[in-house]
């Protein structure tokens, strides 16, 4: 069997977590089976279509590093891969269902359908959907009305009193009474464009899709699609309805839970590898006792048999942990390149957007080891190392004073720290600097923490900061001593 699956988004919004999870699982399944992964744009909802959403789709997947084997931008044997360019196919196959008696012309106006809805609502009726008013119009009469210029749609004739059965790889055998299926849904709209259902089934058949992996929210559409396959005389693809992605409150993931569009995650400084790794685990398992997987490893290990039936819970804290792990895997140069746009945007090198000088770039790269372990997101980098590029504001006097000591003691400690700062700024590594300051603390009978606190505040402007020894090395002896002198002058006043 040739494995072929697809991601078929409607470009009516930004790419979000749920859609990316669907795309990723289809991509991983195709790769794990040596198959083909397709992208198809289902853009028949022209009222909500926006070209910017198409661009967002391409930008998102380029950033994530996921590529399809066939699609609108790279072609393939079943082009075009954009539904608005395939309307003749849908008209042809809607006509085929008409000829088979499996579909019919409907001349009901939107006003009539709305009136029926309002009457049912007023009567507190449990009925919903179309009332099949045009279902039994004789074909000859329908043909005359069409020729006469009446507006029409084409509706599917759902077989009544029957049960539709299909197998889902995750959920097992499913039976659905046809009476509970959307009553005779529109296949071809009055503007000649297909509805989602017709275009989806026709395209999956013509593009030889072997497996449909989609979210469980689409499960109720599957009986209708199976009925359509049967009406055409086609074999349906295999179905696998993926577990839902929920927020911590047990409700479907949405904007109220925080960032769900991939653009928002990207702006906040998430790494694509971290996002893919975490999303791949939403409803699937790979290897016991292991959390970190490269995309290549996920491609090798993915299996439909390892999917979970239960909904997946999206945990922002867990994703933050993944992001931190991937940040720590980066080299200094790689991390600097990733953080640089955030630093420029924050105006770290001058005005907002200013390019760093060669010297500033060197300092920026040298600062990466100081903050790598402290970063959860890339956007945090500029604030953490701003003191290396400009004089930090003087902290309040009490910030310099260790616990149980007073200002006079802090001044004495900082004077000692000044004697040590110059030599430490020239030492090649933290270990040597730490051993040196420990020896001096013992020699002067002071606690190491008490000695380091006022020195840290003088150098960085805060009690909590990146490592002091590395900061001294990057600033150099001259700049470090200038800051200490400024702090001493402030405290002595």
What are the residue numbers of the active site? 255
d(CA 74, CA 82): 12
Q: Say if residues 229 and 204 touch (Cβ distance below 8 Å).
A: no
Element (H, E) at 307: none
Local structure of 377: helix, strand or coil: coil
Three-state DSSP at 186 gives: strand
The DSSP symbol for 483 reads H
In the block, residue with structure tokens 């009406």: 231
Buried b (16+ CB within 10 A) or exposed e, 349-382: beeeeeebeeebeebbbbbbebbbeebbbbbbbb
Separation of alpha carbons 305 and 141, rounded Å: 52
**Which has the closest alpha carbon to 379: 262, 263, 258, 267?**
267
Cα dihedral: 65, 68, 69, 72 (round 10) = -130
Q: Which helix (H) or strand (E) holds 38?
A: strand 36-39
Q: Exposed, middle or buried, 404 (CB in 10 Å: 0-12/13-18/19+)?
A: exposed
d(CA 152, CA 140): 15
Nearest to 338 by CA among 326, 349, 350: 326
Say how many C-beta atoms besides its own lie within 10 A of residue 289's C-beta.
4
CB 453 within 8 A of CB 466: no
Q: For 351-375, give the DSSP string.
A: STTPPPPHHHHHHHHHHHHHHGGG-
CA distance 444 to 464: 24
Q: Where are the beta strands (DSSP E) in 309-397?
A: 312-313
Euclidean distance between CA atoms 469 and 367, whole angstroms:
12
Residue 144 burial by Cβ neighbours in a 10 Å radius (0-12, 13-18, 19+): exposed
Task: Give me the count of residues in the chain.
Answer: 493
């Amino acid at each position: 069997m040739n494995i072929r699956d697809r991601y078929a988004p409607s470009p009516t919004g930004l790419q979000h977590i749920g859609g990316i999870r669907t795309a990723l699982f289809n991509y991983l399944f195709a790769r794990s089976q040596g198959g083909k992964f397709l992208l198809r744009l289902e853009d028949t909802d022209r009222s909500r279509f926006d070209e910017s959403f198409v661009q967002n789709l391409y930008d998102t997947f380029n950033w994530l590093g996921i590529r399809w084997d066939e699609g609108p931008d790279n072609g393939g044997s079943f082009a075009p891969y954009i539904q608005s360019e395939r309307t003749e196919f849908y008209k042809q196959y809607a006509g085929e269902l008409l000829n088979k008696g499996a579909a019919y012309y409907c001349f009901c106006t939107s006003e009539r359908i709305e009136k029926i809805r309002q009457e049912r609502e007023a009567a507190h009726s449990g009925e919903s959907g179309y009332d099949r008013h045009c279902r039994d119009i004789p074909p000859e009469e329908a043909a005359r009305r069409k020729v006469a210029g009446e507006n029409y749609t084409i509706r599917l004739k759902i077989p009544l009193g029957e049960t539709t059965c299909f197998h889902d790889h995750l959920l097992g055998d499913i039976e659905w009474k046809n009476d509970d299926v959307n009553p005779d849904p529109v296949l071809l709209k009055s503007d000649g464009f297909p509805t989602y259902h017709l275009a989806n089934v026709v395209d999956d058949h013509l593009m030889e899709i072997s497996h449909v992996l989609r979210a469980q929210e689409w499960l109720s559409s599957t009986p209708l699609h199976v009925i359509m396959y049967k009406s055409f005389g086609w074999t349906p693809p295999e179905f696998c309805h993926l577990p839902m992605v929920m927020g911590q409150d047990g409700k479907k993931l949405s904007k109220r839970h925080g960032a769900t569009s991939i653009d928002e995650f990207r702006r906040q400084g998430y790494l694509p590898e971290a996002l893919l790794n975490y999303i791949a685990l939403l409803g699937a398992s790979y290897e016991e006792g292991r959390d970190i997987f490269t995309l290549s490893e996920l491609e090798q290990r993915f299996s439909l048999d390892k999917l979970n039936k239960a909904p997946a819970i999206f945990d922002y804290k867990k994703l933050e942990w993944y992001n931190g792990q991937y940040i720590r895997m980066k080299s200094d140069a790689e991390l600097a390149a990733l953080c640089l746009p955030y630093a420029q945007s924050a105006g770290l090198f001058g005005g907002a957007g200013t390019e760093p000088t060669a010297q500033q770039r060197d300092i920026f790269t040298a600062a990466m080891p100081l903050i790598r372990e402290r970063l959860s997101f890339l956007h945090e980098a500029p604030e953490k190392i701003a003191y290396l590029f400009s004089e930090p504001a003087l902290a309040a006097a009490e910030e310099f004073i260790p616990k149980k000591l007073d200002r006079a003691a802090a001044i004495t400690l900082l004077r000692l720290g000044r004697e040590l700062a110059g030599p430490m700024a020239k030492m090649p590594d933290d270990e040597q600097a730490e051993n040196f300051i420990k020896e001096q603390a013992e020699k002067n009978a002071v606690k190491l923490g008490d000695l380091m606190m006022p020195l840290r505040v003088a150098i960085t402007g805060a009690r909590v900061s990146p490592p002091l020894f590395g900061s001294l090395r990057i600033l150099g002896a001259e700049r470090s001593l200038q800051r200490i002198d400024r702090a001493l002058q402030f405290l002595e006043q």
